[in-house]
């Protein structure tokens, strides 16, 4: 059998794990965080041109509740496997909340009553004994006053969840829940978010147009500028994304999301801008010390620099602030195996990440690579196949799958190499790997003829 030409892990390589495993739960947070799901409100009874309001309420809730360490919103992308339609039933809400290991869900309905919109908030809590569903006090508002007065809703949810709020904390939540005074800017923003969540080139381009209109309607709308940068990032417009993130940080120097996003850009940059990434993540954490994803990013940046003790410390803090964060476990899976070869710890960390987020192709790729390195080829094949089920165009999984099949089934390897080449030959970034794949394919065909 020919020598395997292994492409570098897309997950990155972490140098030098120092010392023994760390008790991750030792880094206690000031308050015990509760993981929450925030869903767009049901608006199926509203006219079509008003149905963006349901997403708007969800965005205000997310902006407000991100200001308190006791409540940790789940990334909406993790809810996609549970979304059967735009109108969530309570049974679907419960299924999704359990599916992402969350403690509670915030959802509701919006109906029209005369000239008013009536907000009907609901809360569902998952408990060991079952689940409790609570209806909060309805809010009836003239549409023109909606975005000014809805800032009280996140505080109402927090108090219903029995979160102890100081006056200063309540004021900070309400302020964050009023990101713009322009109703038109917020409408464009909510519609832009909806377009971005559809994904794909078309959805993201529509989101850019709508979010650009939002920032034109209110040039001081820092959240809108940040979101525009996020969509540019999804479109691989790195320079435009960075410009928007910097602009958002200047518009609101207290807003940490743009700094965290800049850290992500620096960490993924081909020029290895790890020091800049550390600086950006550190700034985000200074602005919001309980920002779990920024701690994860800081850990990844320190790990990339070979500062493994600092990386593990950052991951500890991330888990303290968000114990259901799959990114932390994925990062730990990398760091456990890369240099010390801590197989069982790495596998357990990757499995925990997958348990929290079954759609995580990165965690499954990492687990597959660990299995492959240990000679557990069938297990590796299973993981790479699951990645391809989730993302049929994942060239890394297709390449690795073909490579592993060379060890167990050369004929199937030929099939997989041909699939990889058919897809990857259309991508300039894959040119070198396509050349390697063609060499493998020629050798395998020659061996089978012999």
pLDDT band for 12, please (50, 70, 90 cuts): very low
Query: What angle in degrees, to the nearest 10, is found between the helix axes of 377-390 and 395-408?
Result: 150
Query: What angle in degrees, to the nearest 10, is found between the helix axes of 361-373 and 395-408?
Result: 30
Report pLDDT digits (tens) over 273-325: 999 999 999 999 999 999 999 999 999 999 999 998 899 899 999 999 998 89
How many percent of the chain have pLDDT more than 70?
Answer: 92
118: left (phi over 0), alpha (psi -120 to 50) or beta: beta
Architecture of domain 325-450: Alpha Horseshoe (1.25)
Report pLDDT digits (tens) over 123-172: 999 988 888 999 999 999 887 777 777 889 999 999 999 999 999 999 99
pLDDT band for 94, please (50, 70, 90 cuts): very high
How far is Cα 229 from Cα 245, in angstroms, rounded to an integer? Answer: 6
E strand intervals along 138-272: 139-142
How far is Cα 334 from Cα 444, in angstroms, rounded to an integer? Answer: 32
CATH superfamily of 33-178: TolB, N-terminal domain (3.40.50.10070)
All structural domains of the chain with their residue ranges: 33-178, 325-450
Q: Kindly report the CA angle at 314 between 310 and 315, in degrees rounded to 5? A: 120
Residue 15 pLDDT exceeds 60 = no
């Amino acid at each position: 059998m020919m020598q395997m030409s292994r492409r570098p892990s897309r997950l990155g390589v972490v140098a030098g794990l120092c010392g023994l495993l760390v008790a991750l739960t030792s880094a206690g947070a000031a308050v015990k965080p509760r993981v929450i799901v925030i869903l767009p409100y049901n608006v199926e009874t509203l006219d079509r041109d008003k149905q963006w309001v349901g997403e708007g309420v969800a965005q205000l809730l997310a902006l407000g509740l991100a200001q308190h360490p006791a409540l940790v919103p789940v990334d909406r992308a993790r809810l996609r496997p549970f979304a059967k339609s735009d109108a969530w039933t309570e049974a679907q809400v419960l299924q999704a909340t359990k599916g992402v290991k969350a403690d509670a869900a915030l959802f509701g309905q919006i109906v029209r009553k005369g000239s008013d919109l009536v907000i009907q908030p609901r809360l569902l809590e998952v408990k060991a004994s079952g689940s409790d569903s609570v209806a909060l006090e309805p809010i009836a508002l003239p549409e023109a006053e909606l975005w000014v007065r809805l800032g009280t809703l996140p505080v109402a949810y927090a108090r219903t969840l029995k979160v102890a709020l100081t006056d200063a904390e309540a004021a900070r939540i309400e302020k964050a829940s009023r990101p713009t005074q322009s109703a038109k800017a917020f409408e464009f923003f909510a519609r832009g978010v909806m377009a971005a969540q559809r994904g794909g080139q078309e959805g993201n381009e529509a989101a850019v147009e709508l979010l650009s209109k939002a920032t034109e309607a209110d040039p001081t709308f820092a959240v809108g500028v940040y979101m525009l940068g996020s969509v540019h990032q999804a479109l691989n417009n790195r320079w435009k994304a960075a410009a928007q993130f910097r602009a958002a940080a200047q518009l609101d120097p207290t807003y940490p999301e743009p700094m965290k996003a800049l850290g992500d850009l620096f960490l993924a940059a081909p020029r290895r801008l790890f020091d800049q990434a550390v600086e950006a993540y550190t700034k985000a954490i200074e602005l919001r010390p309980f920002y779990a994803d920024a701690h994860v990013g800081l850990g990844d940046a320190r790990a990339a620099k070979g500062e493994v003790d600092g990386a593990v410390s950052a991951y500890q803090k991330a888990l303290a602030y968000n114990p259901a964060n799959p990114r932390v476990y994925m990062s730990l899976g990398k760091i456990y195996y890369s240099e010390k070869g801590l197989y069982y710890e790495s596998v357990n960390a990757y499995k925990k990440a997958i348990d929290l987020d079954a759609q995580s192709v990165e965690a499954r790729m990492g687990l597959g690579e660990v299995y492959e390195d240990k000679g557990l080829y069938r297990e590796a094949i299973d993981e790479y196949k699951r990645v391809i089920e989730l993302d049929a165009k994942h060239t890394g999984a297709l390449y690795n799958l073909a490579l592993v099949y060379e060890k167990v089934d050369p004929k199937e390897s030929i099939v997989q190499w041909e699939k990889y080449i058919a897809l990857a030959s259309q991508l300039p970034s894959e040119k070198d790997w396509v050349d390697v794949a063609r060499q493998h394919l020629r050798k395998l065909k020659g061996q089978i003829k012999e």
